[in-house]
């Protein structure tokens, strides 16, 4: 038995107007200070004003939000007593908003208790709206929450189907001001979601279509959105693509590139999308020898590559590297300024943490400890995987 969960999704240019019709008394906007400075928070407030909803702002969310930040946000929520929580931003503010909402409703819980196996009984005090300002994570439509444990330098995968947003407002205008590097990093996150959602062992008939559609959109429109941020048609298609990829992997799973990317991000502060997309081709090549089927299918659908098994899967990996190069992104860890000595010093912990990441269990080919270690090293050096 499987589920497909989604908020009501309002999308396309002008969809922020949906807020004008909202009913409620008080909203807490969870966001970051950059988005305040860029005027995006004011835009949302103006719409809430029209709806007669008083708004308060918690803007202390950092990239890769920590449990401590979430706790501060919960205190603000207890003071403000909102009936709407608005997660406005990239994945970081949207994930923080989900966690703040859950703990505002359920102050008896520890963050680590937000897992798929408990009954949370949410929506007694508030409901959740998500408004993405990056075209990448899909966190607007997923129930997953990624928080960072700063003491142990590791990412924690949390979430429960109940904490999915009620409404996701996917308005490309909110992402139109992203600089090229952020556009590239977050767009590659969406591609990684689409590819891993399609190829992981938890994929289903219901998620396959949105994953393929999302991957096509990224291949076609990401280079345009990076080259010319004012190309609103490319912006809109990327914003939709990221949401579709979120629906796909959020109702299936991500996989090894996410397990490895989470570890790199938590250890060396590499932005999420850049980290996971570096590892994606290596994990595809690793799967190619023993479990190429789904990757070969995808190569046929996306790249028109009709060869058999391993060869087609490897062509897909190369096509992804070519896209990364085309938009100026790295294809190896060495290129992101992580010193080799520091990387090797952390290698054993990184392998352990990757094995503890929930995303690794859906890998098409399960790695042994030594194989995962080798993969981290090959990805550092940019070597094509041959084992």
Ligand X SMILES: NC(=O)c1ccc[n+]([C@@H]2O[C@H](COP(=O)([O-])OP(=O)(O)OC[C@H]3O[C@@H](n4cnc5c(N)ncnc54)[C@H](O)[C@@H]3O)[C@@H](O)[C@H]2O)c1
Positions that interact with ligand X (CB under 6 A): 32, 34-35, 38, 63-64, 89-93, 95, 133-134, 136-139, 142, 144-146, 175, 177-178, 182, 186, 189, 250, 272-273
Residue 55: beta bridge partners?
27
Per CB under 5 A, 189 contacts Zn ion: yes
Backbone φ and ψ of 367, nearest 5°: -85, 150
Cα dihedral 89, 90, 91, 96 sign: negative
Q: Phi, psi at residue 106, to the nearest 5°?
A: -125, 70
Stretches 27-35, 114-122, 182-190, 333-341: which one binds Zn ion (CB under 5 A)? 182-190
Contact predicate 158/121, CB 8 Å: no
**Least CB distance to ligand X at residue 341 (A):** 26
Q: Which does 73 bind (CB under 5 to 8 A by kind): ligand X, Zn ion, none?
A: none
Q: Which does 330 bind (CB under 5 to 8 A by kind): Zn ion, ligand X, none?
A: none
Q: How far apart are CA 43 and CA 9, in angstroms?
A: 19
State the nearest-atom distance from the C-beta of 121 to ligand X, in Å: 21
Name the residue nearer to ligand X (CB basis): 275 or 363: 275
> Which residue lies nearer to ligand X by CB, 183 or 346?
183
Q: Residue 89 touches which of ligand X, Zn ion, none (CB < 5 to 8 A by kind)? A: ligand X
Q: Of the two residues 95 and 189, which places its CB atom closer to Zn ion in the complex?
A: 189
- Return the number of the residue (145 or 375) whose C-beta is nearest ligand X: 145
Q: For residues 55 and 142, which CB has a smaller minimum distance to Zn ion in the complex? A: 142
- Rg (Cα) of the chain, in Å, rounded? 20
Which residue lies nearer to ligand X by CB, 172 or 292? 172
Q: Which residue has its beta carbon closest to Zn ion?
A: 189
* β-bridge partners, 180: none
Taken in order 372, 90, 247, 165, is the CA torsion positive or negative? Answer: positive
DSSP percent split of the chain into helix, strand, coil, nearest 5:
60, 10, 30
Rounded to whole angstroms, how far apart are CA atoms 166 and 53? 17
- Closest contact distance (angstroms) between CB of 117 and Zn ion is 23
Nearest approach in angstroms of CB 330 to ligand X is: 16
- Contact between 196 and Zn ion by CB under 5 A: the answer reads no
Q: Which does 64 bind (CB under 5 to 8 A by kind): ligand X, Zn ion, none?
A: ligand X
Q: Does 185 bind Zn ion (CB under 5 A)?
A: no
Nearer to Zn ion, 29 or 215 (CB): 215
Options 29-37, 158-166, 181-189, 367-375: segment touching Zn ion (CB under 5 A): 181-189
- Which of ligand X, Zn ion, none is residue 274 near (CB under 5 to 8 Å by kind)? none
Q: How far is the CB of 192 from ligand X (least distance, A)?
A: 9
Residue 133 binds which entry of ligand X, Zn ion, none, CB below 5-8 Å type-dependent: ligand X
Question: Measured between alpha carbons, how far is 366 from 372 in angstroms, rounded to an integer?
Answer: 9
Nearer to ligand X, 133 or 346 (CB): 133
Place of tokens 């076609």: 220
Numbers of helices and strands, H then E, in the chain: 13, 8
Contact stretch for Zn ion (CB under 5 A) within 186-194, 217-225, 321-329, 334-342: 186-194
Q: Which does 38 bind (CB under 5 to 8 A by kind): Zn ion, ligand X, none?
A: ligand X
Min CB(216)–ligand X separation in Å:
20
Distance CA 355, CA 365 (A): 13
User: What Å distances lie between residue 174 and 37, 50, 377, CA to CA?
Assistant: 13, 18, 38
Q: At what angle do helices 180-199 and 309-326 cross, to 10 degrees?
A: 170
User: Within 149-292, where are the H helices?
Assistant: 180-199, 205-227, 232-250, 256-268, 272-290
Name which of 286, 269, 264 is nearest 332 in CA terms: 264
Given the complex with ligand X, which of 82 and 271 has the nearer CB atom? 271
Q: Which positions lie near Zn ion, rule CB under 5 A?
A: 189
């Amino acid at each position: 038995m499987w589920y497909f969960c989604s908020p009501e999704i309002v999308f396309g240019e002008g969809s922020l107007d949906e807020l004008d019709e909202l009913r409620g008394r008080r909203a807490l906007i969870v966001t970051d200070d950059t988005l305040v400075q860029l005027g995006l928070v004011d835009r949302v407030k103006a719409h809430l004003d029209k709806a007669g909803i008083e708004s308060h702002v918690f803007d202390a969310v950092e990239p890769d939000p920590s449990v401590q930040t979430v706790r501060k946000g919960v205190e603000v929520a207890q003071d403000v007593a909102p009936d709407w929580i608005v997660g406005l931003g990239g994945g970081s503010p949207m994930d923080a908003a989900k966690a703040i909402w859950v703990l505002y409703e359920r102050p008896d819980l520890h963050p680590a208790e937000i897992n798929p196996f408990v009954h949370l009984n949410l929506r007694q005090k508030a409901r959740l709206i998500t408004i993405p300002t990056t075209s990448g994570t899909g966190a607007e439509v997923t129930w997953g929450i990624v928080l960072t444990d700063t003491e142990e330098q590791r990412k924690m995968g949390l979430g429960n189907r109940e904490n999915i947003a009620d409404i996701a407002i996917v308005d490309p205008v909110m992402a139109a001001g992203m600089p090229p590097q952020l556009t590239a990093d977050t767009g590659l996150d969406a591609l990684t979601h689409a590819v891993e959602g399609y190829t992981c062992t938890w994929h289903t008939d219901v998620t396959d279509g949105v994953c393929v559609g999302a991957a096509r959109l990224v291949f076609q429109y990401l280079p345009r959105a990076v080259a010319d941020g004012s190309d609103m048609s490319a912006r809109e298609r990327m914003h939709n693509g990221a949401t579709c990829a979120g629906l796909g992997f959020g109702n299936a799973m991500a996989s090894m590139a996410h397990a490895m990317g989470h570890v790199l991000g938590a250890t060396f502060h590499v932005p999420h999308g850049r980290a996971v997309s570096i590892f994606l081709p290596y994990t595809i090549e690793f799967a190619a020898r023993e479990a190429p089927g789904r990757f070969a299918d995808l190569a046929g659908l996306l790249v028109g590559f009709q060869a058999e098994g391993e060869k087609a899967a490897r062509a897909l990996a190369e096509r992804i590297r070519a896209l990364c190069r085309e938009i100026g992104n790295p294809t190896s860890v060495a290129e992101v300024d992580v010193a080799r000595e520091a990387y090797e010093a952390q290698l054993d912990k990184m392998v352990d943490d990757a094995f503890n990441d929930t995303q690794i269990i859906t890998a098409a080919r399960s790695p042994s400890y030594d194989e995962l270690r080798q993969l981290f090293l090959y990805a550092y050096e940019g070597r094509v995987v041959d084992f």
